[in-house]
Amino acid sequence: MQGILASVRPTSPVELPAVLPPSNRVLTSSPNTKALTMRLLRFDQAGRLLLTDFSGKTTPPYAILSHRWGNSEVLFTDIVNRNYEEKEGYRKIKFCAEQAVKDQLQYFWIDTCCIDKWNLSELSRSINSMFCWYKDAKRCYVFLPDVSVPTATAIAPKSDWEASFRASEWFRRGWTLQELIAPESVEFFSLEGQRIGDKRSLEQLVHEISNVPTEALQGICIEKFTIKERIEWAKNRETTEEEDTIYCLLGVLGVSMPSSYGEGREKARIRLEAELNSSMPFLVPFSQNNNFVGRESQLAELEAKFFKGNQATIVAIAGPGGTGKSQLALELAYRTRQQNKNRSVFWIDASSIDRAQQSYADIAQKLKIPGWDDEKADFKQIVKLHLSRRDAEQSLLIFDNADSVNLSSNATSVGHDANLVDYLPQSEHCSILLTTTNGNGTGHSSQHVGAISRHCNIKERTTAR
């Protein structure tokens, strides 16, 4: 996989010494957790390419393709619109399907067309599930367009392909690192579809090219290697999107973190480093604003409310649009992480029911709540129940753009409006911060906060402007 998002900008090298945590500790969180439910491809008897969603169902055995993205790939929308046969990438789809049939597998998965990359929430969750998807595959086929083996013999002589195999761009890409490590079975194929070998039969050669230890190629638990060692494997690899130099390591390092294309490599690196060193969940889809200055009196007031003792509280930052309410909330989120190591922080986009649903789906995935991988799950309900447990840790929920108690629906996926209070856990462990234009100094913001605090059984409440 060259990168989920296509781009014409130059490739970015994966140089990661700065990502290292303070020690060479072995990561305690496992990358082998359950993944998001998949869509899988298959051809029916009429030769039509079908995309099947296995939400709420048992995922059948499947093959998976590892490749570099080209200029004319078959995308998710092409499958939906049945407009895929003329694209150059269709050749790889047919290759994968035919090889899967030989291995007695009906279904297969390809990143270009099994993920709706324009759905940013789905894209982010897919990136965080990618390692598991490759690990769970029965077969992984590596398609190498820059390695030619025209002979039709069952096993091509090594002299015919070794030089081009060593020079293949597949070994230089950031995303292909996890695609090499995660699956148990990894087979290499030439441009013509000729099988070259697998990572077991070519173990020493692949080790020499990739710098990945033979033990990791043999399937030893990845947690046996320190973070420093795993990051070293990515040295000299490149990605198209600069942020992907960080995102491509999430599965290898066993980290779950929302993607935010446009933030740049450095901010993504800082977020990853914080995740590696954090003992509590922190789900904020924005980097800290290093240029944030002033408003210390307002921050001090907020910190006094949220950091004082263990009592839950609810605060609304109210004011006209464009006055920096979200930036103030963002700064508080990062200060909470720095000053209160025992409190989780979750950011919810409350501008509409659809975005609130996406935020709750991300929280469910982050916390690995049972049912999080089912696309048809009621994420609002399972997150509420999880955060409302008596043994739940303290948490801060930030509802950004909560301009109305009533959330409207802008998408066809959710055909009704909802009430904001329906998204709030009833717990003494959860504090809530809202940013809102509700009231704009008219007093209505206090009513807004009051309605929510009564639902949450929170006695203390404040409206900050």
Residue 387: name the closest of 421, 426, 437 by CA.
Answer: 426
Residue 25 or residue 126, greater confidence? 126
Distance from C-alpha of 30 to C-alpha of 407, rounded to nearest angstrom: 36
Distances (CA, A) of 41 to 20, 63, 87, 105, 179: 38, 10, 17, 11, 19
Can you tell me whether residue 315 is helix, strand or coil? strand
Query: At 173, is the pLDDT very low, low, confident or very high (cuts 50, 70, 90)?
Result: very high
Ranges of H-type helices in 154-217: 158-166, 176-181, 203-210, 214-217
* pLDDT mean across residues, the chain: 82
Which helix (H) or strand (E) covers residue 328, if one does? helix 325-339
15 CB-contact burial (10 Å; exposed 0-12 / middle 13-18 / buried 19+): middle
Q: Which two tokens stand for residue 331?
A: 């700064």
Residue-level length of the chain: 465
pLDDT at 29 over 60: no
User: Residue 396: what residue type?
Assistant: L
Which helix (H) or strand (E) covers residue 97, if one does? helix 90-102
Most confident of the following: 136-150, 431-445, 450-464: 136-150
Taking the domains of the chain in order of start, what are their residue ranges? 12-255, 278-464
- How many helical (H) and strand (E) elements, i.e. helices and strands, does the chain have? 17, 17
Distance from C-alpha of 235 to C-alpha of 244, rounded to nearest angstrom: 14
Q: Which two tokens stand for residue 163?
A: 């030089």
Q: Which CATH architecture has domain 278-464?
A: 3-Layer(aba) Sandwich (3.40)
Distance from C-alpha of 341 to C-alpha of 318, rounded to nearest angstrom: 27
- Degrees, nearest 5: CA angle 200-253-140: 35
pLDDT of amino acid 442: 36
Instruction: Tell me the pTM.
Output: 0.71
pLDDT of amino acid 35: 53
pLDDT of amino acid 348: 92
Mean pLDDT, range 334-340, rounded to an integer:
83
- Indicate the Cα dihedral angle 204, 208, 210, 211, nearest 10°: 100
Q: How far is CA 62 from the centre of its chain?
A: 21
Range with lowest mean pLDDT among 30-34, 102-106, 427-431: 30-34
Query: At 389, is the pLDDT very low, low, confident or very high (cuts 50, 70, 90)?
Result: confident
Beta-carbon count within 10 A of 110 CB:
25
Range with lowest mean pLDDT among 53-57, 186-190, 232-236: 53-57
Most confident of the following: 157-166, 238-247, 293-302, 340-349: 238-247
Most confident of the following: 117-121, 136-140, 359-363, 445-449: 136-140
Instruction: Decide the pairing of beta strands 39-43 and 282-283.
Output: unpaired
Mean pLDDT, range 129-151, rounded to an integer:
93
Q: How far is CA 176 from the centre of its chain?
A: 16
pLDDT of amino acid 411: 47
Range with lowest mean pLDDT among 1-15, 130-144, 369-383, 427-441: 1-15
Residue 461 or residue 47, greater confidence? 47
Q: Which two tokens stand for residue 168?
A: 């293949």
Q: Are 147 and 75 in contact (CB under 8 A)?
A: no
Q: Which two tokens stand for residue 392?
A: 């739940």
Distance from C-alpha of 299 to C-alpha of 333, rounded to nearest angstrom: 11
Q: Are 132 and 33 in contact (CB under 8 A)?
A: yes
Query: At 309, is the pLDDT very low, low, confident or very high (cuts 50, 70, 90)?
Result: low
Residue 84: name the closest of 123, 52, 112, 117 by CA.
Answer: 112
pLDDT at 169 over 80: yes
pLDDT of amino acid 310: 65
Distance from C-alpha of 204 to C-alpha of 261, rounded to nearest angstrom: 36
Q: Which two tokens stand for residue 329?
A: 């909330």
Distance from C-alpha of 203 to C-alpha of 259, rounded to nearest angstrom: 33
Q: Which two tokens stand for residue 115?
A: 């993920």
What whole-number percentage of the chain has pLDDT above 90?
41
310 CB-contact burial (10 Å; exposed 0-12 / middle 13-18 / buried 19+): exposed
Range with lowest mean pLDDT among 27-31, 144-148, 168-172, 296-300: 27-31
Residue 193: name the closest of 159, 157, 158, 142 by CA.
Answer: 142
* Dihedrals phi, psi of 314, to nearest 5 degrees: -130, 130
pLDDT at 458 over 60: no
User: Residue 228: what residue type?
Assistant: K
Distance from C-alpha of 256 to C-alpha of 134, rounded to nearest angstrom: 16
How is residue 10 annotated by DSSP? P
pLDDT of amino acid 388: 85
